[in-house]
Amino acid sequence: MHSPPPAARVLGTGTALPPHRYEQDELIAAFEAVWATRHHNARRVAQLHQAVQVGGRNLALPMQDYLGLDFTAANRAFGEVGLEVGAAALSAALDAAGLRPRELDCLFFTTVTGVSAPSLDARLVNRLGLRSDLKRVPIFGLGCVAGAAGLSRVSDYLRGWPGHRAALLSVELCSLTLQREDLSLANLIASGLFGDGAAAVVCGGAAVEPAASTGGVPEVLATRSVFYPDTEQVMGWDIGASGFKIILSAQVPQVVDQHMRGDVDAFLADQGLSLADIGSVICHSGGPKVLEAFERTLGLSREATALTWRSLKEVGNLSSASVLFVLHDTLRERRPAPGTLGLMLAMGPGFCSELLLLRW
């Protein structure tokens, strides 16, 4: 195998959750109370919310504040709470990397749960003391795939600027998109699956040596983006007067079954590798059926995806931040031996997938 030079090194990661924590049973009871007035089958709500195997979630706002929330108030809350958790996650990642805010050269920012102009990354310049010549790259619309895709774009940037340091920040406050009048199956599932949080990854180019305190860090060796034609209605948002209405098709696990193994095999073959060479996998916690499809099509054991399952249970699906939470946990708790090859993967609106080859 010819090992390509690294495009980027992960120097540090950080995560942050809003302070309002609720167990899933508390949330189920609240949803049942609200939707019972619509003559909806409350038992069905409980069944769907239990099936996603989420134990609890952190929400942007106290539970009672959601009852009268319209799109304007929800988006205002996104800006306020998003700034807090975003600043906390990026500060933690910079600290883990042993860097001061002014040492950051480029900041990629991704979200799919709120809109603002200027985007939150601009507001972080003053908040954290980032440089005025910081390159900012806000990304909107990639959804769940954006954690992996954003890290790919960071590595693309650092391949061209090997002496720079760049960060990816994901802020997803999914609870603020709740549609109380939507009793579709997709909305009922989403209301039990998605949570709120922020995650950041700080990377350096090939010419940047990681601080000794960071220990062994993963390098990004190669990336691949895959778009599946005519699948735009598999996942996404229908954005209207009431805000973000979920589009979530039951076809997602089928897309994984149909495409993921072939995509991974082709990607690795182009690097002179196969799945047998991969010793670590970091995947997005999309939900039980999606995770089972990943395991099935890639021949992964439950042990290989254990941190992803745990993240799903502890905080829910955090959209683009989820795969970064799993990366963070891997660095803290299950860092592979040096030289181990790893694979990061996620899927999202498009419908599309993003693959990264890592070396620890």
Can you give the C-alpha Rg of the chain in angstroms?
20
pLDDT at 84: 98
The domain defined by 9-204 folds into Peroxisomal Thiolase; Chain A, domain 1 (3.40.47)
pLDDT at 39: 56
- Position 52, amino acid: V
Q: Which CATH architecture has domain 216-359?
A: 3-Layer(aba) Sandwich (3.40)
pLDDT at 249: 81
pLDDT at 248: 82
Per the CB < 8 A criterion, the answer to whether 58 and 196 are in contact is yes
Q: State both tokens at 215.
A: 């220990």
Peptide bond into 118 cis (omega under 30): yes
Q: State both tokens at 96.
A: 């883990």
pLDDT at 215: 60
CA distances, 128 to each of 24, 86, 125 (Å): 34, 10, 6
Percent of the chain with pLDDT over 90: 77
Q: Where are the domains of the chain?
A: 9-204, 216-359
From the list 144, 174, 203, 283, the catalytic residue is: 144
Q: What pTM was computed for the model? A: 0.94
Per the CB < 8 A criterion, the answer to whether 18 and 81 are in contact is yes
Mean pLDDT of 167-174: 98
pLDDT band at 169, cuts 50/70/90?
very high
Mean pLDDT of 101-129: 96
- Does residue 327 sit in helix, strand or coil? helix
Per the CB < 8 A criterion, the answer to whether 260 and 322 are in contact is no
Which range in 41-45, 234-238, 247-251, 282-286 is most confidently predicted, on average pLDDT? 282-286
How far apart, in whole angstroms, are the C-alpha atoms of residue 200 and residue 195?
A: 17
Q: Is the pLDDT of residue 96 over 80?
A: yes
Q: Is the pLDDT of residue 330 over 80?
A: yes
How far apart, in whole angstroms, are the C-alpha atoms of residue 201 and residue 303?
A: 24
Range scoring the smallest mean pLDDT among 36-50, 233-247, 304-318: 36-50
CA distances, 249 to each of 62, 111, 221, 235 (Å): 29, 21, 33, 6
Per the CB < 8 A criterion, the answer to whether 178 and 324 are in contact is no
CA distances, 274 to each of 261, 300, 335, 344, 353 (Å): 11, 14, 21, 14, 18
Same fold, 9-204 and 216-359: yes
pLDDT at 212: 61
Does residue 352 carry a catalytic annotation? no
pLDDT at 213: 57
Cα torsion 124, 125, 130, 135: sign: positive
Nearest to 296 by CA among 356, 256, 250, 355: 256
How far apart, in whole angstroms, are the C-alpha atoms of residue 87 and residue 94?
A: 11
pLDDT at 182: 82
- Looking at the chain, list the stretches that DSSP marks H as alpha helix, in order from N- to C-terminal side: 24-36, 42-51, 71-97, 120-128, 146-160, 185-193, 252-255, 261-269, 288-298, 306-315, 322-333
Q: State both tokens at 55.
A: 């134990």
Percent of the chain with pLDDT over 70: 96
DSSP 205: -
